[in-house]
């Protein structure tokens, strides 16, 4: 069965879906942005949305320990 909606109703529903999508994805985008910033940039007020990403932290978390270096526990990475 096909519903016949008027153009204004269809436009309103599409805008509502887009708004809900933006609201629900914003926290995920915020988390990714914060993970790429340095500690001092995370705490600045007002927050800056344009920044130079810091990939050293991400690379450190994904790299295996060097020979002779002790592996770091995940809880130590967070603190």
Using pLDDT thresholds of 50, 70 and 90, give the confidence band for residue 59: low
| pLDDT score for 71 | 58
Each residue of 28-54: pLDDT tens digit?
A: 988 888 887 877 777 788 877 777 777
Measured distance CA(63)–CA(57) in Å, rounded: 10
What's the rounded mean pLDDT across residues 45-64?
69
Are the C-beta atoms of residues 41 and 48 closer than 8 Å to each other?
yes
| pLDDT score for 19 | 96
Which one has a higher pLDDT value, 19 or 1?
19
Using pLDDT thresholds of 50, 70 and 90, give the confidence band for residue 79: very low
Burial of residue 36 (number of CB atoms within 10 Å: 0-12, 13-18, 19+): middle
């Amino acid at each position: 069965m096909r519903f016949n909606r008027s153009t204004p109703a269809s436009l309103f529903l599409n805008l509502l879906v887009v708004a809900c999508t933006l609201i629900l994805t914003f926290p995920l985008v915020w988390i990714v942005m914060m993970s790429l910033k340095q500690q001092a940039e995370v705490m600045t007020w007002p927050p800056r949305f344009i920044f130079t990403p810091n990939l050293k932290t991400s690379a450190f978390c994904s790299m295996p320990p060097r020979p002779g270096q002790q592996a770091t526990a995940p809880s130590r990475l967070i603190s």
